[in-house]
Amino acid sequence: DAKTTQPPSMDCAEGRAANLPCNHSTISGNEYVYWYRQIHSQGPQYIIHGLKNNETNEMASLIITEDRKSSTLILPHATLRDTAVYYCIVRVSSGGSNYKLTFGKGTLLTVNP
Amino acid sequence: GAVVSQHPSRVICKSGTSVKIECRSLDFQATTMFWYRQFPKQSLMLMATSNEGSKATYEQGVEKDKFLINHASLTLSTLTVTSAHPEDSSFYICSARDPLGGNTIYFGEGSWLTVV
C-alpha cells in the first residue's frame, strides 16, 4: 500500500488560501490520490481526487507534482467551517474496479478568525 | 455528491444486548459498502467490506461473529453488534462506493454507540 505523510496540524486565517501538503512517494502509476475531510463527530466528506493532472471542483483544487510523489490540496478562501481533519489517501486496489480507503491520521486544519 | 444515510445516529444499549445500525445509499446503487469504527481522537479503522449478495470480508483482527454485516440489497447494508460490551462503544461509520459516479466512495453521517 502506498502510504501518505501529512503534517499533524496547520493553521490558516479566515479568507486566505489553505494549502495542505501530502507526501506519497511510493505511489504506483495506477493509484489515485483522494482527499476527504472530517468535521468533528461527522462522517468524512469527499473533497476531490486525481491521478496525474491537477483537478478543481467547487470545493477545492488538487495539485499533483509531475513525479506524483506529492500533492497539495488548496482551499482557495478558507472559512471557519473548513476547520476539520483533512485526509490524503492513496486508493488501494482490492481487486478489479474495487478499492478500499485506508485512513491515516490526517491534518487538523484550524481556520482562525 | 451522492448521499449515504445511517440510522440511528445515536444509540445506547445495555451490555449483553445486540444493536443494529443501518446504512443506506439514497440516490445510487452501491454494490460495495464499507464499515469503519472510530475511537475518540483516533482515525477511522476499516472493519469490513461488504458486497451485495455475498459474505463480508473482514479486516484482520475484527471478529466476524461479533460484528455481523448484511448487504441484502444494492441500497442497504446493516451492521449488528452482538453481545455488546462497553468497549464496543465507538463511532461507527459506513460508506458506499458509487459505481456510476467514478467509483467514488461516500460516507454516512456516522452512528454513536454507547454500551452501558
Q: What is the pLDDT of residues A53-73, one digit of tens each?
A: 999 999 999 999 999 999 999
**Calpha distance B90→B110 (Å, rounded):** 10
Which among B49, B91, B102 is the nearest to A100, CB-wise? B49
- For residue B36, the SS3 value is strand
Cell of B112: 454513536
Q: What is the pLDDT of residues A1-57, one digit of tens each?
A: 568 999 999 999 999 999 999 999 999 888 899 999 999 889 999 999 999 999 999
Which among A43, A46, A106 is the nearest to B43, CB-wise? A106
- Whether residue A101 and residue B34 make contact (CB cut-off 8 A), yes or no, is yes
End-to-end CA distance of chain B: 36
Chain B CB contacts of A100 under 8 Å are 34, 46, 49
Distance of CA B32 to the CA centre of its chain: 12
A71 touches A56 (CB < 8 A): no
A49 touches B104 (CB < 8 A): yes
B79 touches B46 (CB < 8 A): no
Q: What is the pLDDT of residue A78?
A: 97
Query: Of chain A residues 35-54, which have a CB less than 8 A from chain B?
Result: 36, 38, 41-46, 49
- Whether residue B46 and residue A45 make contact (CB cut-off 8 A), yes or no, is no
Among A104, A111, A109, CA closest to A34: A104
- Whether residue A46 and residue B110 make contact (CB cut-off 8 A), yes or no, is no
DSSP letter at A88? E
